[in-house]
Amino acid sequence: MAFLPVVGAAFLPVWAVILAEAVPAVFLIAVLAFFRDPQRSVPDDKDILLAPADGRITDIEAVEEPAFITGRALRIGIFMSIFNAHVNRAPCRVKVQKTSHRPGKYKNAMNPHSGVVNESNALYLVKTDNPADRLIVRQISGAIARRIVCRAQPGQRLAAGERFGMIKFGSRTELYVPLLRGNDKGWRPKCLVQIGDKVKAGLTPLVKYEVESRPAGNLRSSESASLIAGPLGPEGHDCN
């Protein structure tokens, strides 16, 4: 018996011995499963942004992002349960501009508001392929998760799907994508997922860049609201 002294086990009923042996074994298996780091065959497509975390899509929203993107951005939130692999990966080929750790609370990470009040670490990234958009990946602690690990350093270049950190024991990861960029080719980010979808880091495309017939900067204001519309399955739906 791995977890009970032989003498003590002799005075316990059989069911108690089995339970005492099973609980630590289950805990050990859960810990090993949590820290697993599966190999992934990353898609070779420069026009997509991959999920930065394993988990479930909990929210998709257009927000103002004044700190780095300095404008309207599409925010996609991913909740990582204790059953998911918790390794974080780069959404595409990027250069790390800076990282920023913010202390905070430890609210339930399923709530999108947790991204505002909880401890977090933000990676400010610039795509190295066209369009050279600014992106943000934010690692957010949860009610159980109390440690954020980020190995990325300013100036470092990351390949698509490359590991850069993890959040331990349940958490949230957010991806921020600019909605409008006045570039010559008129790139348009199209959302490919919907709330409730399960995604895998470095495998599942969240956003695909498409080229508009006119530059995005020339779109009328009435048209800009459609930029987060995109197919979310076989029949297609809107992200907003």
| Residues 55 and 115 grouped into a single domain | yes
**pLDDT tops 80 at residue 234:** no
Assess contact for 98 and 154: CB atoms under 8 A.
yes
Do 208 and 123 reside in the same domain of the chain? yes
- Judge if 28 and 77 occupy the same domain: no
- Is 240 part of a structural domain of the chain? no
Question: Do 48 and 207 meet the contact criterion of CB atoms below 8 Å apart?
Answer: yes
pLDDT digits (tens, 9 = 90+) for 55-73: 999 999 999 999 999 999 9
Instruction: Residue 168: name the closest of 226, 86, 108, 47 by CA.
Output: 86
Same domain, 59 and 6: no
Question: What's the pLDDT score for residue 58?
Answer: 95
145 token code pair: 């998760």
Average pLDDT over the chain, rounded to an integer = 79
One domain, residues 18 and 64: no
Residues 25 and 113 reside in one and the same domain: no
Is residue 111 a part of any domain in this protein? yes
Nearest by Cα to 186 from 130, 135, 141: 130
The mean-pLDDT minimum among 7-16, 42-51, 156-165 falls in 7-16
pLDDT at 19: 61
Dihedral sign computed on CA atoms, order 139, 101, 152, 69: positive
- Classify residue 39: in a domain, yes or no: no
pLDDT value for 216: 45
- pLDDT digits 0-9 by tens, 174-228: 999 999 754 445 788 999 999 999 999 999 999 999 987 554 444 444 334 444 4
Pair 3, 117 in one domain: no
Q: Are 142 and 109 in contact (CB under 8 A)?
A: yes
d(CA 148, CA 100): 12
For the segment 97-127, what is each residue's pLDDT rounded down to a tens digit? 999 999 988 887 778 878 888 999 999 999 9
139 plus 176 within the same structural domain? yes
Cα–chain center distance at 50 = 9
107 and 7 part of one domain:
no
Give me the domain span that covers residue 12. Answer: 1-34
Question: How many domains does the chain divide into?
Answer: 2
Asked if residue 42 is part of any domain, the answer here is no
Looking at the structure, do residues 16 and 61 belong to the same domain, yes or no?
Answer: no
Q: What is the CATH number of the domain that holds 70?
A: 2.70.70.10
Model's pTM, two decimal places? Answer: 0.76
Backbone CA torsion sign across 132, 116, 108, 86: positive
| 171 labelled catalytic | yes
Question: Is residue 43 one of the residues assigned to a domain?
Answer: no
Domain contains 239: no
For residue 190, the tally of other CB atoms under 10 A from its CB is 19
The residue with greater pLDDT, 125 or 237, is 125
Q: How many CA atoms lie within 13 A of 230 on its CB side?
A: 21
From 171, 222, 224, 226, the catalytic residue: 171
**Same domain as 196, residue 125:** yes
One domain for residues 7 and 123: no
